[in-house]
């Protein structure tokens, strides 16, 4: 079933169109890590000092695990397996997306409820029920795929349904009408959205992989041993550090971040120098990157957001969450009591449907 773009515009779109690191020692050539600073790291193309991007996992000034004290933010929204990642890790969000100015959540009865602006009432333009939603690039409205209980997909915008001959468990929606999916045997297949058939471009590396994600002109996968590999035109800018091992990772517009087995967030990529509010260095379950900021889901359920100090998503509400979805201009989360909250520039709003009833997310 192919979702009609006109139907999407009703409720989803304003405009139709998912350890062991080793820091370089501070010296005259590499900036020191810390509040407002970045640290170069050795061992990987993306982390080479003076290369496309350094890495940052700075100390938090003695406030490890605490949300940064900052006031109120593409590429791809990260999607992945609903199961725990390699070595532990937290489930990657499959019930909530936020991108562009809109968002969507799978509710308790399986219907997707979607909104087109921050705080606006949500509606469900889809009569079918689904178990998961996957978002496309955070700067693109309406690029999404929905998975039903039988493993079938309905997609629209730039998100293209997988070829029928491939049964994929997760989808990463790229920004050039190309998508890749993770199959049940942990191998990856990519396809051209415009024609709906598997295509050798981009060529995905051989598996096995535990998680897949998309960024601007790049796809990346996390292997079971904690190493990662990227492919696509911008692969060199997002190359995983060779000396790092991760249990979960996320790609944003110009930034990549991963969680180590020790529960620290490590980031790299083209926009690494823009991180002024540092990520937490312990107690992290999962990390989720949006446009110019990301949010870490802490072990106690709090959201600790980091990134550019001008990003409107940096000041999350004091709730306990089970899923997070940083977006382009606002971010959203599912609280432990299944309510949906979104925030931007120090304002947080609970999301409701058009009848005034609170949105209740599907159980994990």
Arithmetic mean of pLDDT, 156-180: 76
Residue pair 304/67 in contact by the 8 Å Cβ criterion: yes
Peptide bond into 46 cis (omega under 30): no
Would you state the pLDDT for residue 85? 35
Report whether pLDDT(319) > 70: yes
Domain ranges of the chain: 5-14+52-348
d(C-alpha 289, C-alpha 249), whole Å? 9
Report angle CA 321, 211, 194 to the nearest 5 degrees.
Answer: 105
pTM of the model: 0.75
Query: Measured between alpha carbons, how far apart are the two ends of the chain, in Å?
Result: 25
Residue 260 has pLDDT above 80, yes or no: yes
Residue-wise pLDDT for 103-153, tens only, equals 899 999 999 998 887 778 888 767 789 999 988 776 666 678 888 888 888
Contact 224, 207 (CB under 8 A): no
Q: What are the pLDDT digits (tens) for 270-283?
A: 989 989 999 999 99
Are the C-beta atoms of 308 and 255 separated by less than 8 Å? no
CA distances from 293 to 128, 275, 315 (A): 33, 8, 11
Q: Which fold has domain 5-14+52-348?
A: Methylamine Dehydrogenase; Chain H (2.130.10)
pLDDT of residue 305: 93
Q: 3-class SS at 8? A: helix
Per-residue pLDDT tens over the stretch 10-37 = 222 233 333 333 333 333 333 223 333 3
Residue 234 neighbours by CB under 8 Å, 6+ apart: 215, 216, 217, 218
Q: What are phi and psi of 50, to 5 degrees?
A: 85, 5
Q: Confidence class of residue 158 from pLDDT cuts 50, 70 and 90? A: low
Closest CA to 252 of 241, 239, 268, 240: 268
């Amino acid at each position: 079933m192919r979702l009609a773009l006109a139907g999407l515009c009703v409720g989803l779109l304003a405009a139709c169109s998912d350890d062991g690191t080793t820091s370089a020692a501070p010296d005259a050539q590499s900036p020191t890590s810390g509040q407002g600073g970045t640290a170069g790291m050795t061992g990987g193309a993306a982390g080479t000092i003076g290369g496309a991007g350094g890495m940052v996992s700075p100390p938090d000034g003695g406030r490890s695990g605490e949300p940064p004290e900052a006031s109120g933010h593409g590429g791809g929204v990260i999607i992945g397996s609903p199961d725990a990642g390699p070595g532990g890790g937290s489930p990657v969000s499959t019930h909530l997306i936020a991108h562009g100015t809109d968002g969507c959540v799978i509710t308790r009865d399986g219907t997707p409820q979607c909104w087109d602006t921050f705080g606006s009432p949500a509606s469900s333009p889809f009569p079918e029920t689904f178990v998961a939603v996957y978002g496309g690039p955070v700067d693109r409205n309406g690029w999404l795929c929905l998975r039903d209980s039988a493993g079938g997909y309905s997609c629209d915008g730039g998100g293209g349904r997988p070829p029928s001959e491939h049964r994929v468990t997760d989808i990463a929606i790229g920004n050039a009408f190309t998508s890749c999916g993770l199959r049940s045997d942990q191998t990856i297949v990519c396809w051209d959205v415009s024609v709906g058939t598997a295509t050798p471009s981009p060529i995905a590396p051989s598996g096995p992989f535990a998680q897949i994600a998309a960024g601007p002109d790049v796809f990346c996968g996390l292997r079971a041993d904690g190493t990662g590999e990227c492919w696509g035109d911008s692969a060199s800018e997002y190359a995983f550090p060779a000396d790092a091992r991760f249990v979960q990772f996320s790609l944003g517009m110009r930034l990549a971040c991963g969680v180590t087995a020790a529960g620290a967030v490590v980031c790299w990529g083209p926009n690494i120098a823009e991180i002024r509010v540092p990520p937490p260095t312990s107690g992290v379950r999962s990390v989720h990157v949006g446009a110019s900021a990301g949010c870490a889901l802490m072990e106690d359920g709090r959201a600790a957001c980091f990134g550019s100090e001008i990003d409107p998503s940096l000041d999350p509400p004091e709730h306990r969450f089970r899923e997070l979805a940083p977006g382009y201009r606002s971010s959203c989360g599912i609280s432990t009591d299944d309510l949906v909250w979104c925030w931007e520039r120090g304002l947080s709003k609970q999301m409701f449907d058009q009848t005034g009833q609170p949105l209740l997310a599907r159980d994990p």
